Structure 1
């Protein structure tokens, strides 16, 4: 784990305040999108074409012809319809939406085929899950990375979530394929990793697993798909979490390890009720940060991510969308569910405490959840912290004013939350 993080921190990234979608475009990106204007309908996602393309190389056994689950088929239908109706993808965006959706469809079909051929995999017992719950930009990634240093903990490296099933024959080159993709991201958006550093082998969010079910707000972060979001919010979240659990069992089946599963995806905050139902033995760590900082950073996350795929990204519109959107609403609902949880299955940590004294903050988390902070865990985290202190630090510039907001407006929107956690 430390080796992967060292590679992630070997380069310094500096992402400036977002102004327009084209502000950081290099010549290659500008040229590609200019060519794409000559073929405005080229490679627009189509659900039927995506499934057909994915089926060509998704079978794991000779006589098994995998088919999508009806839930995934419905979700992809709504997603591609919303992409077509609500976004103005540029050429790079159209290529990405098609290729990435095809990869996720292929993952889904391979999961279907695997379970059909080896149903006993669903009997796999996963380690006790601990979910990190918090809005994006509240210290969830930093906490996830710290907890991943404990050798007793099972996390999901990016390569494993990107392609959960190893090849049935030949070399397993999933890591190499992801490294290639991340290099392409660096070429397209040289400083994007200042927001969320990624390497193929470092612990990553659960989001890719939900993308294989086509049920996650990640698609809205990338493409702005409000119709899809409305549909997703109307759905039973346990459908997505049953598919998620199935993939966790597959991952554990092929690479069994760990006493606890440390799981992190900001969208978990929307779905606490589903998590409690599907994972009755789960424990939770809630992260908290001044909304003037977290919401401003979320605005930057959305604006910079969408600008990879579209030229029609307006900073002021993003600010209005975020302050009036699902993140404040979802956080408030998560806090209501938190109040109903047994006291011994959750704890809270502020982002400022994680940054100023990470070892103390982590030790308290272990104590609150009664999981035992031993010398092995302390030593591993100390080694990581020492290495991190001497590594380059990324700069991610953002401000409420850059998105047409103020710190006061952001704090007022979540005033009760600010007061409850002394933010």
Structure 2
């Protein structure tokens, strides 16, 4: 949706353009999220539900704009040790870039991804901390907890935001989990070293975040 407003991480994810990503982080996203709002209105014109569930990591850099446009937004922030994720993120970026280029440098991609995500998390933390209603607006979920018992964690989310958690919803979630095991389509194999990354060198980029949310860097 944001891509059709021409400020979106879809471009940074699809192409190796770190300069564009740096530029996008500094933009006022007010108009972009207003477009986002109208886009959702268009999608639900004949099919309106109580709420939308939207997910993408780059939203984290623009929390102020999101809350300004959606003052009743309920934000679930999931957490995982960043260096456990960066190898997968870099691998995905290389795969996406390869659809448009035959010249992929995995080392350059890895460095670009780790720097971008570190800056995005830094900005998101600062914006969240400045919100006076952050305790009620945000709910934090640890990756290990959602993997161990997803329905229990989702029930906590519903309770925090005072959403009704019905037996029908619980049953539908359990059915989904039973029919879509995590590694149903195989396991994604990668290493940090493939992308020039290592925990000792790049982990400190996320040290404030890890300390704040009790994660290992």
Fold match by TM threshold 0.5? yes
Instruction: Give yes or no for the alignment of 1:359 onto 2:151.
Output: yes
What is the CA-CA distance between 1:397 and the residue it aligns to? 1.2
| Cross-structure match for 1:326 | 116
Structure 2 distance, partners of 1:215, 1:236, is: 10
Contact 2:15 2:100 in 1 (8 A): yes
Match runs of 1:52-131 below 5 Å? none
Cα distance change of structure 1 residues 230 and 320 upon mapping to structure 2, 3 Å threshold = closer
Match of 2:195 among 397, 403, 415: 403
Cα distance change of structure 1 residues 355 and 410 upon mapping to structure 2, 3 Å threshold = farther
Structure 1: segments with no counterpart, 5+ residues: 1-208
| Cross-structure match for 1:216 | 8
What is the CA-CA distance between 1:410 and the residue it aligns to? 3.5
Instruction: Give yes or no for the alignment of 1:338 onto 2:131.
Output: no
| Cross-structure match for 2:83 | 292
| Cross-structure match for 1:309 | 100
Structure 2: segments with no counterpart, 5+ residues: none
Cα distance change of structure 1 residues 238 and 298 upon mapping to structure 2, 3 Å threshold = same
Instruction: Give yes or no for the alignment of 1:248 onto 2:40.
Output: yes
What is the CA-CA distance between 1:230 and the residue it aligns to? 4.1
Structure 2 distance, partners of 1:211, 1:220, is: 11
The answer to which structure has the higher helix fraction is 2
Cα distance change of structure 1 residues 278 and 218 upon mapping to structure 2, 3 Å threshold = same
Structure 2 distance, partners of 1:301, 1:217, is: 14
Match of 2:169 among 352, 372, 377: 377
Instruction: Give yes or no for the alignment of 1:262 onto 2:53.
Output: yes
Cα distance change of structure 1 residues 314 and 408 upon mapping to structure 2, 3 Å threshold = same
Contact 2:13 2:97 in 1 (8 A): yes
Q: Which has the larger radius of gyration?
A: 1
Q: TM-score, structure 1 length as denominator?
A: 0.48
Aligned Cα root-mean-square deviation (Å): 1.8
Structure 2 distance, partners of 1:230, 1:418, is: 23
| Cross-structure match for 2:64 | 273
Contact 1:318 1:403 in 2 (8 A): yes
Number of residue pairs aligned between Structure 1 and Structure 2: 213
Structure 1 distance, partners of 2:77, 2:130, is: 14
Q: TM-score, structure 2 length as denominator?
A: 0.90
Contact 1:290 1:411 in 2 (8 A): no
Contact 2:16 2:109 in 1 (8 A): no
